[in-house]
Structure 1
Amino acid sequence: MKKNLFLLLFLFSFVAISQTKVGGVVLDDSGKPVAFANVLFKNSSEGTITNDNGRFYMESDNDYDVLIVSFIGYDTQEIPLTSRVSYNMEVVLKESTEQLDEVVVYSGKQSKKNNPAVEILKKIWAKKRENGVRKFKQYQYDKYEKIEFDLNTIDSALMESKIFRGLEFVFKDLDTSRITGKTYLPIFLNETFSKVHGDNLLDEEKEVVLGNKNSGFDNNQAIIAFVKDLYQNYDIYDNYLKFFDKSFTSPLSRTGVDTYNYVLRDSAFIEDKWCYNIVYYPRRKNELTFKGDFWVNDSTYAIKNINLEVTKSANINWVKEIYIEQDFDVVNDSVFLLKRDYMLSDFSFQKKEESRGIYGKRTTVYDNYVFDISKPKSFYRAEGNPFDPQILDRDSVFWKNSRLEALNKDEKGIYQLLDTLKTVPKFKTYYNLVSVLGSGYIEIDKWNLDIGDVYSIFGFNDAEGFRLRGGARTYFGQNDPWRLEGYMAYGFSDKKVKHGFSAKFLLDKKSRLIISGGNRRDIEQLGISLTSTNDVLGRSVASSAIFTVGANDRLTNINLSTFNLEIEPLTNFRIRLGSSFRTLSSALPDAFSLEYVDSESPTGISSEIKQFDLSTLLIYTPGKRTIGYGVERKDINDNYSTLLLNYTRGIDGFLESDFNYSKIQFSYTQPWQLGGFGRLFSTIEIGKTFGEVPLGLLNVVPGNQTLFSIYNTFPNLDFYEFVTDTYASVHLEHNFNGRLFSRIPLLRKWNLREIVGLRGVWGELSDENIALSAPTNIPLRAPNEKIYYEYSVGIGNIFKIFRIDFNFRGNYLDSPNARPFSVTGTFGFNF
């Protein structure tokens, strides 16, 4: 979903006035751009550095008449500014010929030894856990955040294009970015005011949101979730800063000396505090790094001001610029507290200067710090899911008093602009296109109904042949207390109609007590997951894959009815009590059988399984963040772990149920952000079935005969190749995010990413269960002789959207039709 939303922002894209604005390029005397040159307004601490292409842009609220441009090894240039706005400047630096005695000159790659900047950096490391709110037992403060999205690089060609015909009024008031110098048009604004409470002794923090206000896509939960996920909190003192699912090495990191060059550029008084100014820039290209500078106090070694700009060569897609500024307030001689955090991202298909895109800007302001007021531990944990509809409906007086930074004229105009745009038919068409591609549903507002999802319309398998599916759901808003959803499908080969429907109701908002149920009658590829599911609406890729390896004929007719009761007594801890009744039979009996020995059948064999189950499911997702208070919420992060414990009790006799058994299953999934070494995704699963059950109720090791790379499956196993009643499996997949390829000159410019995987499973299958399913026409075998394992190597980010994996089977090569090697792939928009 997030990948689709990112694409949508580009489909849709087809500051107060400063006193001094400058922009241009810095070259050496041979005409080559000078990267990381220092650009500074004379007699000020306001400055920037040039990007990889030698370009810079800077503006100030103050009047300046001289610009200073310098770089180590070159003569410093002082350039008079004859007007308030000076764009397209071309500054030429000449190589320095002066010989300075007793001065160490740093150029190119800086030494890690005898470097005064590195010595200061070491003192920052020693003091970083003593700075800011960490100096106090408890803390609380006010936090105001605004997130804005703007169309950028607005020029006459865009304004006169057909896409904006009839919408020319939106260009009436355009402004220029103080970071990039590009014109922009605001299209979205989200404001949040909250109070943050923390306890360093308990290692707890809680944010209480008091007000939230949206413009633009105010009722589109999917888009808002995407925006929230883009901008998560970070601490510049951490070794790694996470943006867009990538870990960037912080310039204050303990590993920074291996990643960055540091130069002590200047020292000066800032608000009566003597500070050092240190410039940093990356040692190598194509790594996830920044360039910029920071001012640090000479006694506390606390950061007073820092700016970070992602280098253009960094291995990140669809983002042309990332710029961050943080300012800290001096409270007393030893306390520096974060005052303002500003982040700008320039999203674009290309990294060329002239390419159009979308700005994403987040400004966070902190104020009213209070310290050492303790609160009980229950305060941080008791209130699991607060719901206050007034948060979304605060009046203008509240926002006037709560904004710690006033809206500028452009931001004030967003609310009025979007209200006007929503009345324009052409804009509604564009908005609907964005919404459909992002959520997968076509909105019909007058009926409070969504049609879809559009991504499940077409399918193909051996039993149904070509397949069409259409569905709908109720949708009044993102906080709906109930939802009805269903679909119908038709297979052109078997000429049968299939369906699925569900209903869910939120009975209590605070405890999130939900009652749900549904029915599904369809054809499905079972055994895609070891941990069973009772989803009446979902459908696996394997059930509809057009291209498969070998015969895809082990499909099942399923008639499933469910009823569930779910509650969330503690934040991110859910308990679900459920019941289900299912009927299973082979969809292609000549190729695949689910028959089992049945002494009560006239033939001694039954081909249909009827089963009633009761289940208890415990799900714990520590660190998970969501938005919305309705029956369905949206996740806004993906770095949380998931622990799942499921107990199922099969009861025979009830509703003609066939088997009496018990099954217990546990799984643990954890993403690991390993700093500059990338991201590891891991899953462990174990399970056991007590009692005799046929093939349809056993645990099938998930094979994968499709051409798609699907996590948690074994791409070199056929469907039903291994069957178990006791199992343990592990899946590991690590994405280095280009760390290795970035060190290979011939591959560096391609920004490829290396992925490695290792997966294994061990299992047993009792003789009784084998005998019960003896009539089956496929061999029943478990990987009990030794652990079955596979490994893979992959290349990602091919042309920015493709990934290909080469998968190798480690053992059990004597199995009939064993596949020792396979190639799978996937595609999508990833940062």
Structure 2
Amino acid sequence: MIYKRFLLLLLFVASSAVVFAQNTVVSGTVTDAKTHHPLSYVTVAFTGSSIGMNTDDHGNFSLTSAKPYTKLSVSTVGYTTATFDVEPGKEQVINVKLVPVAKQLNEVVIKSAKKEKYHNKDNPAVELIRKVIANKPKNRPESYNYVEYKAYEKTQMSFINVSEKLSDKKFFRKYKFFLDNKDSTTIPGKTILPVFMDEKLSQYYYRKSPEKTRNQILGQKSVDFGNFMDSEGFGTYFKRLYADVDIYRNNIFLMTNMFLSPIADEAPTFYKFFITDTVNVGNTKLIRLSFTPRNTTDMLFEGDIFITLDGNYAVQKADLTINKAINLNWVRTMNVRQEYEQNPDGRWHLSKSDARADFGTRKNGDHGIFGERTVTYRNYKVNVPHADTTYESVVALSDEVKHRSDQFWAENRLDTLSKAESKVYANVDSLKRMPSFRRTADIATLLLAGYKSLGPFEIGPANTFYSFNPVEGLKLRFGGRSTPALSKRYYFETYAAYGFKDEKWKYFLSGTYSLNNKSIYAFPQNYIRASFQRDTKIPGEDLQFVEEDNFLLSFKRGVNDKYLYNDYYRLDYVKEFESHFSYALGLRKWTQAPAGSLYFTNFVDGQPNSISDLTTTEATLQLRYAPHEQFYQGKLYRTPIYTRYPIFSLNIAQGFKDVLRGEYNYTRVRLRIDKHTYFSQLGYADISLEGSNIFGQVPYPLLSIPQANQTYAYDIDSYNLMNFMEFVYDRYASFKIDQHFNGFFFNKIPLFKKLKWRETLSAKVLYGSLRDENNPSIHPSLYQLPVAANGVPITYTMGNKPYVEGSVGIENIFKFIRVDLVKRFDYLDNSNVAEWGIRTRVDFNF
């Protein structure tokens, strides 16, 4: 037995020696013909074969083949391709001198990175990327007069490495069918358990002049978790995290942050580029261009892009990865891969885009959440015009589109589902029917959203059940609202509250009728609402009733005993359009009475006169335009998602005297513009401009009162070092900016970089004035501005200078805490004011 093995070994060695003796071996060095510098990353290959390699940092190469090849090809971008004769079956040395091609790129000087620092000057990779940048306009779809294609979008979310033993435990045995539906092929070395799936098939049309875009959804399918989670809203939020990646834009929006594209106009300033390979795809020659961030902590990618050398300098393939050192919360890895196909005219269009991310609390953890969004594009056509109606906007999705048959999806999917993905729909449908799951979902909803579902009604919000203030003392509140399970037309909302110090009941009741048979929380809204509210309010505060009794807002600094008792009777009509223009009409009767140390007093015939309450009757009109606005849409709520587009709102209120006991005629006009602005590597800023004017003579409770903040929380929309009721005016202009740098500066400081802290900067400027006709010192019949018990003024009018406050802050402390040092610059002589303050805020951001 032993000798047989020995004989086989001898035969193997002998045959190997014969084969080796017949090998063709070529080695040598590739240098620049003019400078004689060695050239790295040059492609050296036997002509007509797939056998090849890149030269090393010193320009050396060595190729071996058992086949009798007779030609050697040497090529790289910027040089004339050289071909040499080879003697088959022999070892030989061929030293190559490549001649630069001046028309393509300047001379190449590439040296080992260990010996010389990277630089842009005379760098062929940088010259190539500049050609890509220069040709971007013609490589974008918008360069055509008409574009159309079909797009299939698949989004899925999964748990990573769920224990195999979990489904065998007693509590989870009933969920075994769900827990065992795993996929081990998507992520090498890991298993994923899909829990969410969403599919969408769309037909896209674009026309350049006049510019119109239409995205007609042909079919949409999503898992349905019932009342526990709104799948459509979750899908919208998920798509925001995995937004469409357009590499030809300067900035790419992912994970709520802006990443600089590797082919952005300023890319050579932030990236290092290296030519690493040349390949052929059909008749097209491609350059593989690798890139890395100059600073690994900036919001940049690393990876490879393949550039065509057909005169288009277009991207044919892209592999984008984020660096682990980036200051990005909970994202362990993220990768975007894109493939492009060639049009009949020789240009290239995106054919597939796949974005994947691995989320977890620990950077190197084995467990977490995996999300993937894949978009496949087919039937791409250019410069095929259609009738004008083809490019018009489409109304909301029909039930037919949302409930396509399995046969429709089998015939129209442009991609395939894995075995695990294909079972998600049925598994979730079975899961939501299980009583134990519904009980768990109810508890989670109460903890996260603050509501406890009771089918057609739900109780909450929980954070308002208990609060306190100096006027009411301990305040208990209990309320709830109806759900679509009761009716899709009628909605009711109510609460009752009791203050143990003032011994008064407060309550709220509203009834809403949906005119479009859709949830009043869903876009586009179209409803009419009648409501009555009796409750307390701090003058100048503009909080929603669900927030006014928030327990955390009960803690306030300084003197806080000036309140109003309010009776609101309201009738509102709201209409939203698909264009995201909306208007709201309202009628309001408001009776306000002073509470605490607040009082209403004027002078009649020189004598002080105490006033018990003030009643106004108003008609209101609100016009709002928020182009391309998106929402994180739940079944019973919606939250706007910031976009790069501004939001315009115009409010007009007309007061009527002697109508429903209204006491004053006046007109109030307010215009506000909000903008969420991205500054690429410098983060983003929330900016608002606002102005208002009141026409007519009114007492101070009807004047504009700035929204002050006497809590210890940092409020972006309030003046954090201003006291309640500190200023009044009848016209004003304000500017606010809240800048988030996303760690751009802190990432250069080792300690802050390790802590993942991020820097913030904010400024708020307010200028207001009071005309003589509304000044109570000139017109004693108007309500006198409040003063303290010792006669010191507590409410002021502004002089010739604005109110200014600013802050510097650190956010992302423990990933969710923000701390600001706030400074007040003006009106420091007013009573009970603080020049400095420290405020905190809780924010969960990526």
Q: TM-score range by the shorter chain?
A: 0.7 to 0.9
Q: Residues 774-829 of structure 1, C-alpha deviation per residue, up to 9 Å, x if partnerless? A: 17335332223211111110111111111001111111111122211111111132
- Does the 8 Å contact 1:482/1:631 carry over to 2? no
Cα displacement (A) at 1:361: 0.8
Within the candidate set 567, 576, 591, 1:568 is matched to 576
Distance 1:501 1:391, change over 3 A: farther
Within the candidate set 479, 491, 505, 1:483 is matched to 491
* 1:826 alignment counterpart: 841
5 Å-filtered alignment, 1:238-637, equals 238-299=249-310, 300-332=312-344, 334-352=346-364, 354-374=365-385, 380=391, 385-445=395-455, 448-476=456-484, 480-508=488-516, 512-529=525-542, 537-540=545-548, 545-569=553-577, 571-588=579-596, 591-596=597-602, 604-626=609-631, 635-637=640-642
Give 1:281's aligned amino acid.
T
Distance 1:439 1:208, change over 3 A: farther
- Does the 8 Å contact 1:217/1:223 carry over to 2? no
Query: Is 1:236 aligned to 2:247, yes or no?
Result: yes
Distance 1:438 1:374, change over 3 A: farther
TM-score of the superposition, structure 2-length normalised? 0.81
Within the candidate set 791, 799, 802, 2:814 is matched to 799
- Does the 8 Å contact 1:110/1:263 carry over to 2? no
Cα displacement (A) at 1:490: 2.5
Which piece of structure 1 moves more, 195-204 or 165-174? 165-174
SS of equivalent residue, structure 1 residue 567: strand
Query: Is 1:210 aligned to 2:233, yes or no?
Result: no
* 1:788 alignment counterpart: 803
Give 1:167's aligned amino acid.
Y
* 2:175 alignment counterpart: 167
SS of equivalent residue, structure 2 residue 553: coil
Cα displacement (A) at 1:450: 2.1
Distance 1:823 1:631, change over 3 A: closer
- Does the 8 Å contact 1:290/1:311 carry over to 2? yes
Q: Residues 54-108 of structure 1, C-alpha deviation per residue, up to 9 Å, x if partnerless? A: xxxxxxxxxxxx9999996999999xxxxxxxxxxxxxxxxxxxx9999723537
Q: Residues 473-499 of structure 1, C-alpha deviation per residue, up to 9 Å, x if partnerless? A: 222269944422222223233333222
* 1:87 alignment counterpart: none
* 1:676 alignment counterpart: 681
Distance 1:475 1:789, change over 3 A: same
Distance 1:378 1:647, change over 3 A: farther
SS of equivalent residue, structure 1 residue 699: coil
SS of equivalent residue, structure 1 residue 412: helix
- Does the 8 Å contact 1:652/1:659 carry over to 2? yes
Q: 1: distance between equivalents of 2:438 and 2:161?
A: 23
Give 2:667's aligned amino acid.
S
Cα displacement (A) at 1:303: 1.0
Q: 2: distance between equivalents of 1:77 and 1:355?
A: 41
Q: Which has the higher contact order (CA 8 A, sep 6+)?
A: 1
Which piece of structure 1 moves more, 541-550 or 141-150? 541-550
- Does the 8 Å contact 2:734/2:766 carry over to 1? yes
Query: Is 1:697 aligned to 2:710, yes or no?
Result: no
- Does the 8 Å contact 1:225/1:636 carry over to 2? no
Query: Is 1:134 aligned to 2:138, yes or no?
Result: no
Cα displacement (A) at 1:292: 1.1
Counting matched residue pairs gives: 739
Q: 1: distance between equivalents of 2:714 and 2:271?
A: 36
* 1:195 alignment counterpart: 203
5 Å-filtered alignment, 1:749-828, equals 749-771=754-776, 772-774=782-784, 776-777=786-787, 779=793, 780-828=795-843
Q: Residues 269-293 of structure 1, C-alpha deviation per residue, up to 9 Å, x if partnerless? A: 1243211111111221321122111
- Does the 8 Å contact 1:479/1:628 carry over to 2? no
Cα displacement (A) at 1:121: 0.7
Q: Residues 20-60 of structure 1, C-alpha deviation per residue, up to 9 Å, x if partnerless? A: xxxxxxxxxxxxxxxxxxxxxx99xxxxxxxxxxxxxxxxx
- Does the 8 Å contact 2:461/2:546 carry over to 1? no
Q: Residues 312-343 of structure 1, C-alpha deviation per residue, up to 9 Å, x if partnerless? A: 11111011111111111122352211111111
Identical aligned residues as a percent: 27
- Does the 8 Å contact 1:198/1:204 carry over to 2? yes
Distance 1:790 1:520, change over 3 A: same
Q: 2: distance between equivalents of 1:74 and 1:484?
A: 77
Q: 1: distance between equivalents of 2:529 and 2:204?
A: 35
- Does the 8 Å contact 2:527/2:575 carry over to 1? yes
Q: Residues 647-691 of structure 1, C-alpha deviation per residue, up to 9 Å, x if partnerless? A: 111111122122111111111111111111110111111111122
Give 1:242's aligned amino acid.
F
Q: 2: distance between equivalents of 1:72 and 1:477?
A: 69
Query: Is 1:181 aligned to 2:155, yes or no?
Result: no
SS of equivalent residue, structure 1 residue 669: strand
SS of equivalent residue, structure 2 residue 562: coil
Cα displacement (A) at 1:584: 0.7
Distance 1:251 1:670, change over 3 A: same
- Does the 8 Å contact 1:154/1:183 carry over to 2? yes
- Does the 8 Å contact 1:72/1:106 carry over to 2? yes
Q: 1: distance between equivalents of 2:236 and 2:548?
A: 24
Distance 1:216 1:567, change over 3 A: closer
Query: Is 1:112 aligned to 2:120, yes or no?
Result: yes
Cα displacement (A) at 1:594: 3.7
Q: 2: distance between equivalents of 1:644 and 1:156?
A: 54
SS of equivalent residue, structure 1 residue 687: strand
Q: 1: distance between equivalents of 2:684 and 2:285?
A: 40
Query: Is 1:643 aligned to 2:654, yes or no?
Result: no
Cα displacement (A) at 1:162: 7.4
Q: 1: distance between equivalents of 2:463 and 2:354?
A: 37
Give 1:197's aligned amino acid.
Y
Give 1:330's aligned amino acid.
Q
SS of equivalent residue, structure 1 residue 662: strand
5 Å-filtered alignment, 1:705-724, equals 705-724=710-729
Q: 2: distance between equivalents of 1:636 and 1:74?
A: 52
Unaligned ranges ≥5, structure 1: 1-41, 44-65, 79-98
Q: CA RMSD in A?
A: 3.4
Unaligned ranges ≥5, structure 2: 1-43, 46-50, 64-94, 99-108, 518-522, 777-781
Cα displacement (A) at 1:634: 5.5
Distance 1:775 1:328, change over 3 A: closer
SS of equivalent residue, structure 2 residue 332: strand
Distance 1:479 1:116, change over 3 A: farther
SS of equivalent residue, structure 1 residue 426: helix
